[in-house]
Chains A and B, each alone.
Chain A
Amino acid sequence: MRNGRLWPVHLVLAVGAAAMVMPFFWQVLTSLKTFTEATRTPPVWIPSFEWSNFATVLDETPFLQQFGNTVVMTAGRTLAQLLFCSLAAYAFARLRFPGRDVIFIALLSVLMVPGQLFLIPQYQIVQSLGWLNTLPGLIAPGMFSAFGTFMMRQFFMTLPAEVEEAARLDGANPLRVFWSVMLPLARPGLMALGVLTVLWSWNDLMWPLIVNTDPESMPLSAGLSALQGEHMTDYPVLMAGSLMASAPIVVLFVVMQRQLIEGIAFTGSK
């Protein structure tokens, strides 16, 4: 009875889901076609499994190097943000010091400003440090986040104060309390911030385009842009490249969906 009444819901959701999935289905299908198959009308639905498209991406672009760059960039930004943001967030949430609230609000004002106001000076800093076309240049500005600090501060404020007070009265200093008492309790918050930062770093395009113009030092996002510039119309190769670049993170997030959803839901509830 109940299942009988739910079929219209399933119908609508399935049609929507098909619209979500169809482009990816087409991407995978095209990546397995020859160029002639890809440009035939009506479309070829059973490809001849042209794996050489993937080999072309590996041969003609420094794909593995770019993959490594992306992993290092993502890991560097994420670990740094988790550390710096939670460290400062704990101090903002629990310690008392003069100017605390003023400093916090000044940092939050960064969230109100469009990114374009930072980009030119950020580029100059990276350039003057000699970090253009290097991994540190790719990582540096993304290591700090006002959003992450705000998010972690909100999280610390929801934790009970008793545990922490007991530890402090036993003589532990704030850093020790933060590291061994609060950080373990903050794991759900850290996970939520971590997945959001991973997603944002892996997919970031504008900053890499600005600082790392040498293909060897690019992450995958900018690498795809370069691949598209070279293989304008060779769609099977482009689809193979885009599939290889985006698949790792898609798989990761299908697995870690719960944490990502918690992170997004958190941003919605502030």
Chain B
Amino acid sequence: MSTVGRAAARAAARPATRRRLRDRDWVWGYAMIAPLVLGLGVFYLWPVVQSVYYSFTEWTLFGDATWIGLRNYAEVFTDPANARALRNTFVYGALSLLGIPLSIAVAALLGTRGLKLVSLYRTLYFLPVVTMPAAVAMIWTWLYNGDYGLVDYLLSLVGVQGTSWIANPSTALYALVAVGVWTQIGYNAVIFMAGLQAIPRHLYEAASIDGAGRVRQFFRVTLPLLSPSVFFVSVLSVINGLQMFDLVYLMLRRGNPAREDTQTVVSLFFTRAFEEGAKGYAAAMAVVLMAITLLLTVVQFRVQKRWVHYA
């Protein structure tokens, strides 16, 4: 049969065949999603239900759970350690937004027309993104060292008296924020670079015909059109801020005088659940954290309508 003939025969057979195919799709569809649904169900969906249940129970050493109603929640809301951890977590989430202007600047500069060495710069800005957080924590613990640290040495060169940045309760949180921002800049810059590339060239041409200089173009054209990316990155930053764990766990070891004051919600959760075995109480903390996360995300989506422009 000629190709044309075959195509025509196929076209004629199409409606009926399609219907038959769809009926058979049922079985194939369920079979193909089955492994994933099973895995996500067992390891993620059902655990949420279990955790919510656990949050109303108290556990003995032997792993028996007894129903205690809202007592865990009463404790979660009255324990000053949680209030402190929550405050630290918010400070961390809010301050990690400071990385956004830096990332936009990096992305915009890397997008300069005719710039050479772009891939070299990109690689260098990317190093902190791909380095294991455990390694990052060790490097910065050493840099922040109060006796032999490079940070204090460099500060002494310009006449500033340093401190033991992560052992000092009044600086530890900010020292951790700085490391967090440092690791995020390259990641966020990539998202902004993609956003910048999507801005049509002719808008800049029009703006420059109207007499707008480079700086004016940036604030009048680039920033408004980049706002969806800025929104996405800020939601991501806040969620990452709320999830802050690796750096806190590794940089504020036991015995660190700033440890008590600088815990985040997740690091405190880890301590309660897996170091102290208070699983019911920790489950209640996780439920409250979920409520806070959802609330903040809703607020961010509400507020975005005022400043995000979708082209």
Q: In chain A between 234 and 270, which residues have their CB closer than 8 angstroms to a CB of chain B?
A: 235, 238-239, 241-243, 245-246, 249-250, 253-254, 257, 260-261, 264-265, 267-269
A-B contact count (CB 8 A): 281
Q: Do A169 and B190 have beta carbons less than 8 Å apart?
A: no
Tally of contact residues, B, Cβ under 8 A: 102
Describe B's contact surface by its main secondary structure.
Answer: helix
**A residues less than 8 Å from B37 (CB atoms):** 88, 103, 107
The residue that B243 contacts in the complex, of A23, A24, A115, with Cβ under 8 A, is A115
Q: In chain A between 1 and 43, which residues have their CB closer than 8 angstroms to a CB of chain B?
A: 2, 6, 9-10, 12-13, 16-17, 19-24, 26-27, 30, 38-43
CA of A121 to CA of B65 in the docked complex: distance in angstroms? 13
**B residues less than 8 Å from A96 (CB atoms):** 22, 25-26, 29
**A residues less than 8 Å from B52 (CB atoms):** 117
19 intermolecular pairs with C-beta atoms under 8 Å apart: A2-B114, A13-B109, A38-B148, A87-B32, A88-B36, A91-B28, A97-B30, A112-B293, A122-B43, A144-B39, A168-B21, A205-B245, A209-B249, A224-B134, A228-B253, A238-B142, A254-B123, A257-B122, A269-B194
Q: Do B229 and A268 have beta carbons less than 8 Å apart?
A: yes
**Chain A contact residues, CB within 8 Å of chain B:** 2, 6, 9-10, 12-13, 16-17, 19-24, 26-27, 30, 38-43, 84-85, 87-88, 90-92, 95-98, 100, 103, 106-107, 109-110, 112-123, 125, 140-141, 143-144, 146, 149, 168-169, 173-175, 178, 199, 202-203, 205-206, 209-210, 220-222, 224-225, 228-229, 232, 235, 238-239, 241-243, 245-246, 249-250, 253-254, 257, 260-261, 264-265, 267-269
Q: Do B36 and A84 have beta carbons less than 8 Å apart?
A: yes
CA of A13 to CA of B109 in the docked complex: distance in angstroms? 7
Q: Do B44 and A144 have beta carbons less than 8 Å apart?
A: yes
**A residues less than 8 Å from B35 (CB atoms):** 84, 87-88
Q: Do A205 and B134 have beta carbons less than 8 Å apart?
A: yes
Which are the 9 A-B pairs with shortest beta-carbon distances?
A: A144-B39, A268-B191, A121-B47, A97-B29, A242-B135, A265-B194, A88-B36, A116-B286, A246-B135
The residue that A224 contacts in the complex, of B26, B138, B283, B294, with Cβ under 8 A, is B138
B205 at the interface (CB under 8 A from A): no
Q: Do B44 and A41 have beta carbons less than 8 Å apart?
A: no
CA of A229 to CA of B274 in the docked complex: distance in angstroms? 18
Q: Do B45 and A6 have beta carbons less than 8 Å apart?
A: no
Describe A's contact surface by its main secondary structure.
Answer: helix
Q: Do A98 and B139 have beta carbons less than 8 Å apart?
A: no
**B residues less than 8 Å from A88 (CB atoms):** 32-33, 35-37
Q: Do B139 and A242 have beta carbons less than 8 Å apart?
A: yes
B259 at the interface (CB under 8 A from A): no
**A residues less than 8 Å from B104 (CB atoms):** none
**B residues less than 8 Å from A20 (CB atoms):** 124-125, 127-128, 182, 185-186
**B residues less than 8 Å from A17 (CB atoms):** 121, 124-125
B50: shortest Cβ distance to chain A, in Å? 4
B243-286 to A contact mask, C-beta < 8 Å, 1/0? 10110011001000000000000100110011000010011011
CA of A73 to CA of B290 in the docked complex: distance in angstroms? 28
Q: Do A95 and B48 have beta carbons less than 8 Å apart?
A: no
Q: Do B40 and A116 have beta carbons less than 8 Å apart?
A: no
